[in-house]
Amino acid sequence: MRALGGDQVDEAVASCTATLRTVVDRDWEGVKAGRVEWSCLHTAEHIAGDLIAYAGQLAGRAQDAYVPFEITLDEGTDNAGALHVIETTGALLSAAVRTAPRDVRAFHPYPFRSADREGFAAMGIAEVLLHTHDIAEGLGIAYAPSEDLAEAVLACIFPHVQPGPAAWPTLLWATGRGNLPGRAPVTEWHWHNNLVIPAERLTLTGVRPGAAHDLRLGGDGGFEWIDGGPYQGTREAAGMTVKAYEAGVLRPEFGLFALVRREDGRAVGGIGFHGVPDDEGRVEIGYDLAEAARGQGYATEALRALSEWALARDDVSVLFAAIEPDNLASQAVVSRAGFVPASVAEERTAHEGHDAADGALLLYVRRA
């Protein structure tokens, strides 16, 4: 699962224009594009509009709404001209993605009201791939992008969708454009950009499945780490994220977050949940730091921020943290973050099926 950036935007646009240029002499204005309600020419215009809109959001650092502009083709623009506009707007998005710093986020409504440069790249690529498919379907020609590009789009902005036997048919199914055996047709869908939670000195940055896959294999997950990072617990948590994604049970907001230091953009550790809340709203939380980041209050700050975010939700009522009896530093962290030793009844509940079921561990809780 590769990361998405300017090169992949260029790749998507090149696959679009190479395919559609073979039928540039056909009637695009009088033919409906696949399952959408637009003509093929209007759909090409829509591709260009999405590309320039995403470039504008990211380059303009829009924070509260869409930048109020749109692009339209000049009257009389032919099919070749429409493809030139797609190439041009694609180049603008590619440039915006390449030049945006890693920590920059701009407004996009789904689902947490912002996206970073990889999210905008993924959304732009998805628009190109899917609407090229629509146009090709309307004109009766074959089209399929590279499997690894479709796979990367799924892992980036469809982390809640279980991967299928092949990525491209899965992406078509996930956007209501096809069927997959054993899965109900999709009638409504949205992008799913990653969540970020601000803290005082840190930003808790949601780790996507592709980044988690890289971390699990020993990579950096696309983050710049301080010396000694990421620590082993973060890599193990990344493996849990990948397994949940592959099983189709990942809820990314209850996955892994990298702790990114604001002052220099370097990651110092990881924090996250051991799964989704149960029917009673109970969920376990865990964290670790690179050794060089310990003793500076980062773990307490991150645990407070994530706990407050979680307990503000309707589906979370109790957070658990399980700690080794001799880990006095971690016991101090959870205490400073508002956790208290679990009651006998809470310990019994944990032992009946939660991850914090090891009787050798001390159990701490924080309640809503």
Give every CB contact of residue 242 below 8 A, 6+ residues apart in sequence.
209, 212, 213, 216
Cis peptide before 101 (omega within 30 of 0): no
Q: 10 Å Cβ neighbour count for 140? A: 9
Residue 352 has pLDDT above 70, yes or no: no
Over range 216-225, report the average pLDDT.
96
Tell me the two tokens of residue 360: 């050798």
Return the pLDDT at 217. Answer: 96
Which class for 233: exposed (0-12), middle (13-18), buried (19 or more C-beta within 10 A)?
middle
Over range 76-85, report the average pLDDT.
98
Residue 348 has pLDDT above 90, yes or no: no
Residue 351 has pLDDT above 80, yes or no: no
What distances in angstroms separate CA 259 from CA 186, 211, 216, 350, one per listed residue?
35, 14, 17, 27
Taking the C-alpha atoms of residue 279 and residue 221, their distance in angstroms, rounded to an integer, is 32
Q: How confident is the model at residue 2 (pLDDT cuts 50, 70, 90)?
A: confident
Residue 7 has pLDDT above 80, yes or no: yes
Helix axes 167-174, 117-139, angle to 10 degrees: 90
Q: Which domains are delineated in the chain?
A: 6-174 (1.20.120.450), 196-367 (3.40.630.30)
Q: Return the percentage of the chain with pLDDT > 90, whole number.
A: 94
Q: How confident is the model at residue 358 (pLDDT cuts 50, 70, 90)?
A: low
Do residues 179 and 230 make contact, with C-beta atoms less than 8 angstroms apart?
no
Q: How confident is the model at residue 359 (pLDDT cuts 50, 70, 90)?
A: low
Residue 355 has pLDDT above 80, yes or no: no
Return the pLDDT at 344. Answer: 85
DSSP codes, 325-355: TT-HHHHHHHHHTT-EEPPHHHHHHHHTTSS
Dihedral sign of CA atoms 152, 155, 158, 164 in order: positive
Return the pLDDT at 1. Answer: 74
Residue 350 has pLDDT above 90, yes or no: no
Taking the C-alpha atoms of residue 184 and residue 347, their distance in angstroms, rounded to an integer, is 40
Residue 151 has pLDDT above 70, yes or no: yes
Residue 354 has pLDDT above 80, yes or no: no
The whole-chain average pLDDT of the chain stands at: 95
pLDDT in tens, 305-331: 999 999 999 999 999 999 999 999 999
What distances in angstroms separate CA 190 from CA 15, 109, 181, 276, one per listed residue?
24, 10, 22, 21
Give every CB contact of residue 68 below 8 A, 6+ residues apart in sequence.
none
Alpha-carbon dihedral angle through residues 159, 164, 170, 174, given to the nearest 10 degrees: -50
pLDDT in tens, 172-200: 999 999 999 999 999 999 999 999 999 99
Q: How confident is the model at residue 346 (pLDDT cuts 50, 70, 90)?
A: confident
Residue 72 has pLDDT above 80, yes or no: yes
Distance between first and last Cα of the chain: 37
Model-level pTM?
A: 0.95
Residue 115 has pLDDT above 90, yes or no: yes
Return the pLDDT at 213. Answer: 97
Return the pLDDT at 163. Answer: 96
Residue 129 has pLDDT above 80, yes or no: yes
Give every CB contact of residue 208 below 8 A, 6+ residues apart in sequence.
118, 155, 156, 159, 194, 252
Residue 349's nearest CA partner among 322, 312, 311 is: 322
